[in-house]
Amino acid sequence: MPIFNSKKSIPNLPCTKIALCYHFFPHYRKGIIEEILKELPVDFVGDDKGVEGIKTFNFPNSKSFSIAKCTYFGKLMFQPKILWIALTGNYSTYIFLANPNHITTWMGAAICRIRNKRVVFWGHGFKSQNQTKSNKIRKAFFSLANAFYTYGYNAKKNALSMGFNEKDIHVGFNSLDYSSQISVRNHLQYKPLKSTSLPDTLNISCISRLTYTCRYDLLFDAIALAQKSSSVNYKVTIIGDGPERLALENQAKKLEINSVFLGPIYEEQKIAEILYNSDVTISPGKIGLTAMHSLMYGTPVISHDDIVSQMPEVEAIIPGRTGELFRHNDLDSLTETLISFPTRFRDRNKTRNSCFAMMDRIYNPKKQLDVLKMAIDNIPATKGDDAFNLFNDEIHK
């Protein structure tokens, strides 16, 4: 339900020149950025500096990237050059990061629609179907676009409940640097699995910045309870640093949990070996691109089941196949999940192949690009529930 009349908008034509406007392009978008550079005539527009310590992507050709500085006032962001590009740019399609706190995006998208340019928003979309003030603002903002590219099917369902047309909401999923990681993965598959643990040990990996919202304290409490009633040994390897590290180290020591805090690791080969040789990756607070990282190397993921507070990548967790979901903030539920996990995931090779399938078939830059092209070219969106149905053929055999 666009604000402007979509029937008057761009016909179904192959894409010509495209402007992709972001606040900045994070380094972890390398995979999809490189796919876009290879296949689409795109000018990338964004700041050359990241925020919150996030590094920016280094464009190999300066001609493909135009600097548009950002100015922040609290949560609000202004990017004046976006307005100039929207007013004067010779582009058939404009892709904007779909953040309603980016004030110039409201104006830039409206200008593009007045100029009869195709507008595609790229972002998380609606987190819930609730008629909150925030969602009402988002609804008005998202209505500026001809089409929306989002990361998950739940976001699409939320948009449909708000009155948007299912043909305009494209679910493209997410990815990391697939081409580099597949090379590392292929190398690991020829190496024997490493084990530094006793038999009957569940090797758990955690990788993130160590903040309270990650809820690793809940994981440690659950392990302490599981150890009392299970014959399984639990070992936790944590990659990352942050304000909660000391508290977590003290908690692990007090609860006598077999844990190793490795600090930050930036070498992909080292991270890959840890994930590949783990039995499961656990993120009790929420799961985002960590799910992509773990599944890429064949390791299932455990996180919580509250979709509203989760990240869209949680949809890659199919219980019994690529991981498990426990009740949000529920210690007993997480404990039960830890105890039952070794029984539900007996066949490590089958589990590994299920994780590979999720990444190779759905969560990769090629899939993202195919869906983005549909949004750009005004091709009706597919349903977008691919992840939920990935293993259906096997179930019905």
Give the residue, 9 or 236, on which the prediction is more confident: 236
Residue 191: is it exposed, middle or buried by C-beta count within 10 angstroms (0-12/13-18/19+)?
exposed
Distance CA 11, CA 387 (A): 30
Pick the closest to residue 284 from 301, 272, 271 (CA basis): 301
Name beta bridge partners: 303: 325
Cα 168 to the chain's mean position, in Å? 21
Considering the entire predicted model, what is its pTM? 0.90
Every domain range in the chain assigned CATH 3.40.50.2000:
6-175+364-388, 179-360
179-360: CATH topology is Rossmann fold (3.40.50)
pLDDT band at 13 (very low <50, low <70, confident <90, very high): very low
Q: Per CATH, is 6-175+364-388 categorized as 3.40.50.2000?
A: yes
SS3 at position 190 = coil
| Amino acid (1-letter code) at residue 379 | I
In tens, the pLDDT along 329-365 reads 999 999 999 999 999 999 999 999 999 999 999 999 9
pLDDT band at 7 (very low <50, low <70, confident <90, very high): very low
Pick the closest to residue 381 from 48, 120, 51 (CA basis): 120
For position 192, what pLDDT does the model report?
64
For position 16, what pLDDT does the model report?
66
Q: Is the pLDDT of residue 196 over 70?
A: no
Pairing of strands 18-24, 42-47: parallel
The mean predicted confidence, pLDDT, of the chain is: 92
Give the residue, 124 or 14, on which the prediction is more confident: 124
In tens, the pLDDT along 42-76 reads 999 999 999 988 899 999 888 899 999 999 999 99
